[in-house]
């Protein structure tokens, strides 16, 4: 699956809903598991609760008992409907690492022509070994 295809899938689930205190589904995420299955998610922010689109897609993947990511992308659309790729926040980067150390090799899409590994986004990560 190409970066552009995943970007389009992530954009396809964006359907913003704004309430007095919340903003929902204005960021979309698509991830490709190493089993080659796509999981989608949107963000959900209410008050101080921030639930990233990546976390939503990752949650669906975990529900399938899958923990390894091949590729992931999150996007946002501006008022002209232009799609912008968003780099995962620190919490999402750490979650991907702690789900499975092999996710350090996951490709994080930064643009249709630019991909970095999770390890490149977490250059000073620590992996805790069981004693």
The answer to the question of residue 52 lying near Zn ion (CB under 5 A) is: yes
Of 48 and 81, which has the nearer Cβ to Zn ion? 48
What is the Cα 124 distance to its own chain's centre?
20
The answer to the question of residue 89 lying near Zn ion (CB under 5 A) is: yes
The answer to the question of residue 13 lying near Zn ion (CB under 5 A) is: no
Interface mask toward Zn ion for 102-131; x: CB under 5 A:
------------------------------
Write the Ramachandran bin of 6: left for phi over 0, alpha for psi from -120 to 50, otherwise beta. alpha
Of the candidate spans 1-9, 34-42, 51-59, 115-123, the one that interacts with Zn ion by CB under 5 A turns out to be 51-59
Q: What are phi and psi of 114, to 5 degrees?
A: -135, 125
The answer to the question of residue 92 lying near Zn ion (CB under 5 A) is: yes
Of the candidate spans 1-9, 20-28, 45-53, 76-84, the one that interacts with Zn ion by CB under 5 A turns out to be 45-53
Interface mask toward Zn ion for 15-44; x: CB under 5 A:
------------------------------
Query: Would you state the structure tokens that stand for residue 92, as one six-digit string?
Result: 């999402």
DSSP 27-88: EEEEEEETTS-EEEEEEEEETTEEE-HHHHHHHHHHHTT---EEEEEEEEE-TT--EEEEPP
Cβ count near 59 (within 10 Å): 13
The answer to the question of residue 99 lying near Zn ion (CB under 5 A) is: no
The answer to the question of residue 83 lying near Zn ion (CB under 5 A) is: no
Please give the residue ranges that form the binding site for Zn ion (CB under 5 A): 52, 89, 92
């Amino acid at each position: 699956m190409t970066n552009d295809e995943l970007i389009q899938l992530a954009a396809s689930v964006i359907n913003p809903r704004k309430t007095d205190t919340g903003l929902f589904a204005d960021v979309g995420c698509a991830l490709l598991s190493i089993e080659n299955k796509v999981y989608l998610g949107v963000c959900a922010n209410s008050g101080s609760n921030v639930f990233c689109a990546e976390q939503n897609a990752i949650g669906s993947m975990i529900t399938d008992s899958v923990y390894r990511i091949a590729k992931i992308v999150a996007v946002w659309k501006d008022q002209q409907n232009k799609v912008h790729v968003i780099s995962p926040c620190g919490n999402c980067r750490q979650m991907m690492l702690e789900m499975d150390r092999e996710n350090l090799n996951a490709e994080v899409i930064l643009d249709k022509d630019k991909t970095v590994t999770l390890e490149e986004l977490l250059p000073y990560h620590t992996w805790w070994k069981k004693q």
